[in-house]
Chains A and B, each alone.
Chain A
Amino acid sequence: MSILKSISFTKIKDGLSKTREKLIGKINEAITGKAKIDLETLNEIEEILLSSDIGLDTVEIIIDKVKTSLKNENSRSEETVKKVIKSELSKILEAANTKIDQMSLSKFKPYVILIIGVNGAGKTTSIGKLAYNFRSEGYKVIIGSADTFRAAANDQLEIWARKAGVEIIQGKTGADPSSIVYNAIKTAIDQNYDIVLLDTAGRLHTKINLMQELKKMHTTINKLLPYAPNDVFIVLDATTGQNAIYQVNEFKKYSTPTGLIINKLDGTAKGGVIFQICRENKIPIRYIGVGEEIDDLQVFNPNEFVNALFE
């Protein structure tokens, strides 16, 4: 998939810069003036990483790597330490991102993308942004509004569809979401759409009945298109802490996620929990949300992400 390639990274950098300055400031503080890395410095680095929601498990692994690398290293300068940390963090993200299935959009028609996630993560907004980007690339896009639960979910998505200039299929509040999924895909097949974007209701991963409902949507999609959905994106809120790990683990049991979208990176939250998620699941991060406007979606780039944290 080659969408969004034209977008620059200024926004994520802008978003992360506040964070970055703080982080780098702190690392510099921790390192400068010290000839060797002592325990205290390592503790400080640990805290810096912890404050990004990286989580103790992953932080410990990284600190260990830093310790061993520095043992055989003559230079224990700030640069070396940063380099080691950066490279370890990048490795984790890169390992996961090699899993991106390079299926081209043209091979499958319609190409079906299902969007899932907990309440308020930014699913609907992401759908609006994705629709806009695909349409700008010249694809014929249709949205299926399978959130039949939340009040005014239909109206919200309809506004996005209008902004993005794409078609939308909706159902009545309280209707079976699978029926809308069915209608959307059927319409896409009959009317020659390139891409189907399916919005779903926010669901906490602990609610079995809602997770079953998700599974049912998969069955419905499969009935019409055995190869679909081509992508299932779990939407995560960057302000979320360690719970995101459980979210991904649970969604994996009922769905077939192919990637993550991390939203709200325009705030001060760092979204560091993705390192642990990538380490455990080898699931790639695909896009990041950096604002509430329709063009505030960007392709995720592991190196950019890590560099933005450290430059």
Chain B
Amino acid sequence: MLDELTEKFERVLKKVTGQGRLTEANISDTLREIRRVLLDADVNYKVAKQFIEDVKIKALGTEVLTSVTPGQLITKIIYDELTNLMGSKNTELLLNPSGVTVIMVIGLQGSGKTTFCGKLAKYLTDKKRKVLLTAADIYRPAAIEQLKLLGRQINVPVFELTGEKNAVKIAADSISFAKENGLNTVIIDTAGRLHIDEFMMNEVASIKENVKPDETLFVVDSMTGQDAVNSARAFHEKVEFDGIVLTKLDGDARGGCALSIRAVVERPIKFISLGEKLDSIEVFHPERLASRILGKGDIVSFVEKAQRELDEKEAAILEKKFRTNQFDFDDFLKQIKMIKKMGSLKSLLAMIPGANAALKNVNVDDKQVSKVEAIIQSMTKEERSKPKILNGSRRSRIARGSGTTIQDVNRLIKQFNEMQKMVKMLNTKSAKNLFGNMPIR
């Protein structure tokens, strides 16, 4: 199945090979194929549509460098965007150094909550946390027994209240129990429930209300189809969760639902679960899932190739400008446009050799980029080439013209000045040195 997809992709890629610029005509086939790939991977159809629309806007008109095919370029943009959409910085669990940290695990029936609780308990025990598992699934036959057996396997105590019919009480009592017994991490396993089951949704909301978990994790089966957006949205509306856990990724599900969920709920994917054994838990790598959704294999390798080629070529152009100290606001604007077209949301600086690696994790907000664009466009020709003449009244005119604030304009000019300073430094020192000393992050 993966071979088949790769083949499909290659077929389309060949069609558009050898063309100098991406046009509506020469990428429409690729985009149609991409849509199919995404739908086959269970990306929600609306999400897929929007995503492709975005990619198209970014890709159109992009110049294709000689050694990169248009198809590769689009694929690179897609891959980057997928990674970007699913990626996030704050994937770490919030663990309080003192006091009790409470983690609540929620989700639909059969998504893999109980097994995940066991895995998380082991993972945190290995990190020297003192863990308590709380059995709050009072509905599914033998759910409590299942958690108890898992706890026994990993030597983690399991809290239960035999015969108790109130899950809220069980959860609340378990926290006092943890406190009394010197345990600093409580993982609450809740019953699986349908997002349209009002009674059950009220229950989980009430547990959250009562125990005020530090982390609420929503567990999703990676095989989930189009409905993922509905359940995720409903759960999030009722019990705002902090992170997503993707399970059963040891199968061959492509996991497109992760993209769908990220599109409707802005929460990071924190863990992935890859098997029935209790050590098969991993932190999330967005780029791996991106290649999985796209069909794995070759796509990634030529994406990497494309990236390398692009980096080298763009960097060379930019460097030349820098070398001759001719970098003005017009260049700045050009660069911004180029960045937008390329689909890369990374900072302009990322194109400078040596800075790329350091800036890998820096994200530039799209909105911010548009703002910068608007400001520069509101400058006169003279102002753009001679930034020094930008006095107070000019600045406030620019702010009005661009629909921004004077602070925005000031910030941009400050950034630009710093950039020019760097350009000068660049011409005296080697780039490596420069970035070695800069507090880039």
Q: Are A268's CB and B45's CB within 8 A?
A: no
- Identify B145's interface contact among A18, A152, A244, CB under 8 A: A152
Residue B40 is within 8 A (CB to CB) of chain A in the complex: yes
Residue B189 is within 8 A (CB to CB) of chain A in the complex: no
0 or 1 for each of B218-241: is its CB under 8 Å from A? (1 = yes)? 000101111110110000000000
Q: Are A160's CB and B141's CB within 8 A?
A: yes
Residue of chain B at shortest CB distance from A159: B141
- Identify A242's interface contact among B145, B146, B225, CB under 8 A: B225
Q: Are B109's CB and A292's CB within 8 A?
A: yes
Q: Are B223's CB and A241's CB within 8 A?
A: yes
Q: Are B141's CB and A119's CB within 8 A?
A: no
Chain A contacts for B42, CB-based, 8 A: 53, 241-243
Chain A contacts for B248, CB-based, 8 A: 118-120, 204
Chain B contacts for A51, CB-based, 8 A: 44-46, 226
Chain A contacts for B195, CB-based, 8 A: 267-268
Chain A contacts for B24, CB-based, 8 A: none
Q: Are B45's CB and A50's CB within 8 A?
A: yes
Min distance, Cβ A44 to any Cβ of chain B, angstroms: 11
The CA of A241 and the CA of B227, in the complex, are separated in Å by: 8
Q: Are A269's CB and B227's CB within 8 A?
A: yes
Q: Are B223's CB and A240's CB within 8 A?
A: yes
Chain A contacts for B44, CB-based, 8 A: 51
Residue B112 is within 8 A (CB to CB) of chain A in the complex: yes
Min distance, Cβ A291 to any Cβ of chain B, angstroms: 9
The CA of A51 and the CA of B226, in the complex, are separated in Å by: 6
Q: Are B111's CB and A241's CB within 8 A?
A: no
Residue B142 is within 8 A (CB to CB) of chain A in the complex: yes
Q: Are B110's CB and A119's CB within 8 A?
A: yes
The CA of A268 and the CA of B231, in the complex, are separated in Å by: 8
Q: Are A239's CB and B150's CB within 8 A?
A: no
Residue B39 is within 8 A (CB to CB) of chain A in the complex: yes
Give chain A interface residues in 6-22, CB to chain B under 8 Å.
Answer: 18
Chain B contacts for A52, CB-based, 8 A: 226
Given A204-B250, A206-B252, A292-B139, A241 and B146 touching (CB < 8 A)? no
Given A47-B45, A237-B110, A268-B230, A243 and B253 touching (CB < 8 A)? yes
Give chain A interface residues in 234-250, CB to chain B under 8 Å.
Answer: 237, 239-244, 246
Q: Are A268's CB and B227's CB within 8 A?
A: yes
The CA of A50 and the CA of B40, in the complex, are separated in Å by: 10
The CA of A264 and the CA of B192, in the complex, are separated in Å by: 12
The CA of A239 and the CA of B251, in the complex, are separated in Å by: 16
- Identify A239's interface contact among B140, B221, B276, CB under 8 A: B221
The CA of A268 and the CA of B226, in the complex, are separated in Å by: 10
Q: Are B45's CB and A241's CB within 8 A?
A: no
Main secondary structure on chain B at its contact with chain A?
loop
Residue B340 is within 8 A (CB to CB) of chain A in the complex: no
The CA of A207 and the CA of B221, in the complex, are separated in Å by: 17
0 or 1 for each of B190-217: is its CB under 8 Å from A? (1 = yes)? 0000111000000000000000000000
0 or 1 for each of A184-210: is its CB under 8 Å from B? (1 = yes)? 000000000000000000001111000
Q: Are A241's CB and B1's CB within 8 A?
A: no
Min distance, Cβ B388 to any Cβ of chain A, angstroms: 54
Residue A35 is within 8 A (CB to CB) of chain B in the complex: no
Chain A contacts for B305, CB-based, 8 A: none
Given A47-B45, A156-B140, A269-B225, A56 and B276 touching (CB < 8 A)? no
Task: Please count how many residues in chain A sit with their CB below 8 Å of the partner chain's CB atoms.
Answer: 44
Residue B36 is within 8 A (CB to CB) of chain A in the complex: yes
Q: Are A156's CB and B221's CB within 8 A?
A: no
The CA of A150 and the CA of B143, in the complex, are separated in Å by: 11
Give chain B interface residues in 133-154, CB to chain A under 8 Å.
Answer: 139-143, 145-150, 153
Chain B contacts for A207, CB-based, 8 A: 250
Q: What total of A-B pairs shows CB separation below 8 Å?
A: 139
Residue B257 is within 8 A (CB to CB) of chain A in the complex: yes
Chain A contacts for B1, CB-based, 8 A: 246
Min distance, Cβ A42 to any Cβ of chain B, angstroms: 14
Q: Are A241's CB and B224's CB within 8 A?
A: yes
Residue of chain A at shortest CB distance from B150: A151
Task: Please count how many residues in chain B sit with their CB below 8 Å of the partner chain's CB atoms.
Answer: 48
Residue of chain A at shortest CB distance from B112: A120
Min distance, Cβ A265 to any Cβ of chain B, angstroms: 11
Main secondary structure on chain A at its contact with chain B?
loop
Chain B contacts for A53, CB-based, 8 A: 42, 225-227
The CA of A182 and the CA of B223, in the complex, are separated in Å by: 33
Residue B71 is within 8 A (CB to CB) of chain A in the complex: no
Given A55-B39, A267-B196, A239 and B145 touching (CB < 8 A)? no
0 or 1 for each of B259-283: is its CB under 8 Å from A? (1 = yes)? 0000000000000000010000000
0 or 1 for each of A140-170: is its CB under 8 Å from B? (1 = yes)? 0000000001111111101110000000000
Q: Are B225's CB and A121's CB within 8 A?
A: no
Residue B108 is within 8 A (CB to CB) of chain A in the complex: yes
- Identify A151's interface contact among B41, B109, B146, B223, CB under 8 A: B146
Min distance, Cβ A137 to any Cβ of chain B, angstroms: 23
Chain A contacts for B140, CB-based, 8 A: 156, 292
Q: Are B196's CB and A155's CB within 8 A?
A: no
Chain B contacts for A239, CB-based, 8 A: 108, 221, 224-225, 227-228, 231
Min distance, Cβ B253 to any Cβ of chain A, angstroms: 4
Chain A contacts for B153, CB-based, 8 A: 151
Residue A309 is within 8 A (CB to CB) of chain B in the complex: no
- Identify B276's interface contact among A119, A160, A205, CB under 8 A: A119
- Identify B40's interface contact among A56, A204, A292, CB under 8 A: A56
Residue B87 is within 8 A (CB to CB) of chain A in the complex: no
Give chain A interface residues in 268-307, CB to chain B under 8 Å.
Answer: 268-270, 273, 292
Chain A contacts for B148, CB-based, 8 A: 152
Residue B70 is within 8 A (CB to CB) of chain A in the complex: no
Min distance, Cβ B233 to any Cβ of chain A, angstroms: 11
Q: Are A18's CB and B196's CB within 8 A?
A: yes
Q: Are B146's CB and A150's CB within 8 A?
A: yes
- Identify B252's interface contact among A122, A243, A267, CB under 8 A: A243
Q: Are A119's CB and B112's CB within 8 A?
A: yes
The CA of A52 and the CA of B112, in the complex, are separated in Å by: 23
6 contacts between A and B (CB under 8 A): A119-B112, A120-B109, A239-B225, A243-B253, A267-B195, A268-B230
Give B residues with C-beta under 8 Å from A: 1, 36, 39-42, 44-46, 49, 108-112, 139-143, 145-150, 153, 194-196, 221, 223-228, 230-231, 248, 250-254, 256-257, 276
Pairs A-B, 9 closest by C-beta atoms = A241-B225, A120-B110, A241-B42, A152-B146, A155-B142, A156-B142, A159-B141, A269-B227, A151-B149
A-B contact sample (5 more), CB < 8 A, given A18-B196, A153-B142, A267-B227: A240-B223, A243-B251, A243-B253, A267-B194, A268-B195
